[in-house]
Amino acid sequence: MDKCSFCGRTKKEANILIAGLEGHICDHCIEQAYSIMNEELGSKKNPAFDTINLLKPIEIKNFLDQYVIGQDMAKKIISVAVYNHYKRLMQKPDAEDIEIEKSNIILVGETGTGKTLLARTVAKMLHVPFTIVDATVLTEAGYVGEDIESLLTRLLQNADYDVKAAEKGIVFIDEIDKIARKGDNPSITRDVSGEGVQQGLLKLLEGSIVNVPPQGGRKHPEQKMIPVDTKNILFICGGAFEGIEKRIAQRLNTQIVGYGASKIRDRVDKDNLLQYIAPQDLRAFGLIPEIIGRLPILTHLDPLDRKALRAILTEPRNALVKQYIKLFKMDNIDLTFAEGVLDYIVDKAIEFKLGARGLRSICETIMLDAMFDMPSEETNELEITLDYASHKLERVNLKMLKVS
């Protein structure tokens, strides 16, 4: 009687029984063997990441323009950095033996200005594995929190454990300013979530072979580590660096001395000091010189003005208004906004000082009751009027006041 040579299942017990030269194997054992191979080798191939869709810098910026409003200087710098980085991966060895260095980027800007969106859109365009990690949860090895290597664990997971694809991916490290050195003298106390994390990031940013736990760091100590080479991984760091404007202002004031100082001082845009940011400001904020050196491309994101916020609601390919219209369309409801509603939403976002992220919160508050009730009703049309929007928003504000 034919049966599986591995588990002993008979032909009736197995769905499929494949015959070999001197034995048989069932479908259950095939699946188990495939799973074991993926775990051991860590190299499951994903055809989605086989080719990098690398465009020219102008084309990269045009693609970013479809999703991100404003921030032209940041887009230009990112486009060139990304193009040079992936051109570096495609270079062939030559007689000159010139090695092009990595183009890691650091983005400085207020919350809601589009740091994460820029990084995510670039990864979407390139068709490479991408992950967002929060620097605030990282601690030095041996302390409560996540190890530095957990950044690469998530990248591996997003690449379906295709190591070769992960080694060409993009890691966006958010809240990089939260791991700034906590004090001027690092020898007083051990700064395990500040300078300690910065020291640990150095080897990742510069490029080295790191043993990555495929299921996360400390919960599975028995797992086999997967070696990942970080020399071709593009790291984009972002942070609000709240209060760094004061350090920039101090530096500008110390430099502007002597004849003609008043004219130069008049040309300084005091409403957007971030545009004058320099590496020495990051060092004064608390980043160590070694990590600044490994993030050679520094750019800022401008605060979003009224015009930019208004455009964000309607112009990008995945604009908020387009998203809500599509959501209601799936329930056969035609959603429209009356004149003045979008301007009202923008005014409230500026009042709350939450940037583009505030637009979503305000829209959700206004649309909540409609999204709850309308799918169960037979109405085919919905118009959001100014009175309706202001009533919904004011009602929430009144509730907050009563709680306090």
DSSP characters over 280-333: HHHHHHT--HHHHHT--EEEE-PPP-HHHHHHHHHSSTT-HHHHHHHHHHTTT-
Distance (Å, whole) CA 317 – CA 201 = 35
Percent of the chain residues topping a pLDDT of 90: 30
Residue-wise pLDDT tens digits, 62-106: 999 999 988 999 999 999 988 988 888 877 766 567 778 888 999
Residue-wise pLDDT tens digits, 351-364: 877 778 888 889 99
> Which strands, in side-by-side order, build the sheet including 234-239?
130-134, 170-174, 234-239, 105-108, 297-300
Top-level CATH class of 49-300? alpha beta
Q: Specify the pLDDT at position 388.
A: 93
Please name the residues in contact with 291: beta carbons below 8 A apart, sequence gap of 6 or more.
198, 201, 202, 205
Q: Specify the pLDDT at position 404.
A: 36
Chain center to CA of 125:
14
The sign of the dihedral angle between the CA atoms of 159, 165, 167, 170 is: negative
Amino acid at 63: F
Residue-wise pLDDT tens digits, 223-270: 678 889 998 899 999 998 988 988 998 888 766 555 555 555 567 778
Q: What is the pTM of this model?
A: 0.74
The sign of the dihedral angle between the CA atoms of 255, 260, 262, 264 is: negative
Element (H, E) at 210: strand 209-212
Q: Could you tell me which residues are beta bridge partners of residue 138?
A: 146
Q: Specify the pLDDT at position 51.
A: 62
Mean pLDDT of the chain: 83
Distance (Å, whole) CA 174 – CA 164 = 24
Residue-wise pLDDT tens digits, 312-337: 999 998 899 999 999 999 999 999 99
Q: Specify the pLDDT at position 189.
A: 54
Least confident range of 41-45, 338-342, 382-386, 389-393: 41-45
Q: Where are the beta strands (DSSP E) in 63-195?
A: 105-108, 130-134, 170-174
Domain 306-403, classified CATH 1.10.8.60, yes or no:
yes
Distance (Å, whole) CA 220 – CA 217 = 7
Amino acid at 258: G
Question: What is the number of other CB atoms lying within 10 angstroms of the CB of residue 25?
Answer: 19
Show me where the domains of the chain are located: 1-41, 49-300, 306-403
